[in-house]
Homo-oligomer: A and B are copies of this chain.
Amino acid sequence: MINKLVSKIKKMEAPIVVGLDPMYEYVPSHIMKASIEKYGETLEAVGDAIFEYNKGIIDAIYDIAPAVKPQIAMYEQFGIPGLVAFKKTVDYAKSKDMVVIGDAKRGDIGSTSKAYATAHIGKIKVGSAEFAPFDEDFVTVNPYLGSDGINPFIDVCKEEKKGLFILVKTSNPSSGEFQDQEINGKPLYEMVGQKVDEWGKDCMGDDYSYIGAVVGATYPEMGEVLRKVMPKSYILVPGYGAQGGTAADLKPFFNEDGLGAIVNSSRGIICAYKNLEGFDEESFADASRQATINMIEDIKTIF
């Protein structure tokens, strides 16, 4: 799956991923209204509306963006109907040949991590039948529990030819509280980065490993260090746009081959109809396409 991701990034000249993080207030009102007419003021209505919203965006961008990253929390907050919308979004994006990164940040002790790996990138048997419960291509994982929380995910990746992005240095303001603490003269995030590099070496695609890392655009100096610590790992870079990261901040995350990083934008693209001139709620999908084009052009300026 890392080979597919890299090949799509090269072909589209677009090292980007669109974050499908549908907050209630982001959904254009005509979509929400139609769903509430169908289902009443229920979670089912919201689930229906966010899937319609995502579908509009996917239809508008699938030929220019290699991947989407639905953040599962934004679906989980709407209960079961929200998670139904998550699953439909994963399936729909894959039907358009997009790579799907499930942003779930799961992680637990061994047997439990195995269950999460099964849920998101694996398969499960029921008698003689087999099911892929959520079936994303990549999933994000939290490393706080150490190797035996990560290894079950790696095992499933190997079986299913899927991939991971492991949290190393997150984009939020207080990420340093624990991640930046010095251990034998090096920050914790660097130690986690070294582990990602180790795990990744055993999981190589053609040029890059399918074990990647998450490093926030908001910390470019740390990105520069981590780029060297994990040369073969793709870095998923959140924090561009709405969280404050600029194109200039992104250069250190890339290797000299112009590859090695994939930059996420969520609100900047899915809510573009609120900010870009000439668009409104009705043209939210066209606005998201324009914002995607703008983002790709912006990132090209750094090379």
Contacts and interface: CB of A to CB of B under 8 A. Distances in A.
A126 B120 CA distance: 28
A74 B109 CA distance: 12
Interface string A97-131: 00000000111111111011011100011111101
A302 interface: no
Interface centre among A21, A83, A107, A172 (most CB of B within 10 A): A172
B133 A82 contact: yes
A160 interface: no
A236 to B, nearest CB: 13
A192 B177 CA distance: 9
Contacts of A82: 119, 133
Contacts of A3: none
A248 interface: no
Nearest to A145: B170
A223 interface: no
A160 to B, nearest CB: 14
Contact of A147 (B42, B129, B177): B177
Interface string A195-212: 100000000000000000
A56 to B, nearest CB: 20
Nearest to A117: B77
Given A79-B87, A146-B177, A110 B172 contact: yes
Interface string A168-204: 0011111111110111100010011001000000000
A226 B149 CA distance: 22
Interface centre among A41, A105, A133 (most CB of B within 10 A): A105
A276 to B, nearest CB: 21
A139 to B, nearest CB: 11
Contacts of A177: 146-147, 195
A145 B133 contact: no
Contact of A167 (B110, B119, B144, B167): B144
A238 B113 CA distance: 15
A188 B181 contact: yes
A41 B133 CA distance: 14
A92 interface: no
A47 to B, nearest CB: 10
Contact of A172 (B24, B109, B142, B174): B109
A222 interface: no
A106 B116 CA distance: 12
A84 interface: yes
Contacts of A105: 106-108, 142
Contacts of A107: 105, 142
B146 A174 contact: yes
